[in-house]
């Protein structure tokens, strides 16, 4: 059986990271967290003291940075940044640098290197539209803005950051607008993707639904 590539895209707070990780675990596939790569890139750019608004400079930093993603850990030039990349500061910075074509080009190269090694579940914002446009199965997760903000607020609270829901919602709306309006690989529903609204679904219900879609699509191939 050939290796399958499954992409799971969606906006922040749609649940794609945790869902994709569980889908990959259940299927025995490799999990590719592309969001973690962008966050790691943000750490590298911040540490270099670069101008986050400079496309060429940011791309140059990433081209000389060693980002290693293994299992649930991620390293930047030999330093484990697994916890650091989940901070609100790095979340905001990763969205800011993601608009740069040079940054996206460097990270797409890294993402594509995973394909062919094993069956793959890749999650992000452009995995089905840009990184793997010919993926075997494409999923797009979504949820209402309020629901996504509530999930994000709970996630931050578990990490010791207590922010008002209104602020989390405003930050998320700003990021949604930036992600969908950028010129380089904007957030879109990929062609042929199955859209799953997770607003009123539990985590396990979303996973079960995606596994059902994978089973159905795989049978057609």
Q: What is the CATH number of the domain that holds 121?
A: 3.40.50.300
Confidence band of 1 (pLDDT split at 50, 70, 90): low
Domain limits for position 189: 5-208
Cα torsion 30, 33, 36, 41 to 10°: value is: 80
Task: Indicate if the pLDDT at residue 184 is higher than 80.
Answer: no
Query: What pLDDT is stored for residue 72 in this prediction?
Result: 77
Q: How far is CA 50 from CA 26, 34, 129, 210, in A?
A: 40, 22, 29, 40
**CA–CA separation, 35 vs 167, rounded Å?**
22
Mean pLDDT across the chain, nearest whole number?
Answer: 91
Q: Considering the domain boundaries, does residue 219 fall inside one?
A: no
Percent of the chain residues past pLDDT 90, beyond the cut: 65
Domain count of the chain? 1
Instruction: Provide the angle, in degrees to the nearest 10, between the axes of the packed helices 55-63 and 34-48.
Output: 100
For 126-131, what is the mean pLDDT?
Answer: 93
pTM, 2 dp: 0.83
For 197-217, what is the mean pLDDT?
Answer: 94
Q: Considering the domain boundaries, does residue 218 fall inside one?
A: no
Q: Considering the domain boundaries, does residue 183 fall inside one?
A: yes
Query: What pLDDT is stored for residue 64 in this prediction?
Result: 94
Query: What pLDDT is stored for residue 181 in this prediction?
Result: 81
For 184-197, what is the mean pLDDT?
Answer: 90
Strongest mean pLDDT among 30-34, 67-71, 174-178: 30-34
Query: What pLDDT is stored for residue 70 in this prediction?
Result: 80
Q: Which residue has the higher pLDDT, 178 or 220?
A: 178
For 172-181, what is the mean pLDDT?
Answer: 84
Q: Considering the domain boundaries, does residue 220 fall inside one?
A: no
Q: Considering the domain boundaries, does residue 221 fall inside one?
A: no
Residue 12 has which token pair?
A: 């922040």
Q: Considering the domain boundaries, does residue 213 fall inside one?
A: no
Q: Considering the domain boundaries, does residue 134 fall inside one?
A: yes
Query: What pLDDT is stored for residue 108 in this prediction?
Result: 93
Q: Considering the domain boundaries, does residue 151 fall inside one?
A: yes
Q: How confident is the model over 65-113, as pLDDT tens digits?
A: 999 888 778 999 999 999 999 888 898 899 889 889 999 999 999 899 8
Task: Indicate if the pLDDT at residue 165 is higher than 60.
Answer: yes
């Amino acid at each position: 059986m050939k290796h399958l590539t499954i992409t799971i895209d969606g906006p922040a707070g749609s649940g794609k990271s945790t869902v994709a990780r569980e889908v990959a675990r259940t299927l025995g596939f490799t999990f590719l967290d592309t969001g973690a790569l962008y966050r790691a890139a943000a750490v590298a750019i911040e540490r270099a003291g670069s101008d986050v608004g400079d496309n060429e400079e940011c791309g140059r930093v990433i081209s000389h940075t060693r980002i290693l993603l293994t299992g649930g850990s991620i390293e930047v030039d030999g330093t484990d940044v697994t916890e650091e990349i989940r901070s609100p500061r790095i979340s905001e910075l990763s969205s800011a640098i993601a608009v740069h074509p040079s940054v996206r080009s460097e990270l797409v190269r890294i993402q594509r290197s995973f394909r062919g090694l094993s069956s793959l579940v890749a999650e992000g914002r452009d995995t089905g539209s840009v990184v793997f446009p010919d993926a075997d199965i494409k999923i797009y997760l979504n949820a209402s803005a309020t629901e996504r903000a509530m999930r994000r607020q709970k996630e931050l609270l578990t990490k010791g950051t207590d922010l008002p829901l209104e602020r989390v919602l405003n930050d998320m709306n700003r990021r949604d607008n930036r992600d969908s309006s950028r010129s380089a690989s904007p957030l879109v529903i990929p062609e042929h993707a199955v859209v799953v609204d997770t607003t009123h679904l539990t985590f396990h219900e979303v996973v079960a639904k995606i596994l059902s879609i994978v089973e159905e699509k795989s049978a057609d191939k």
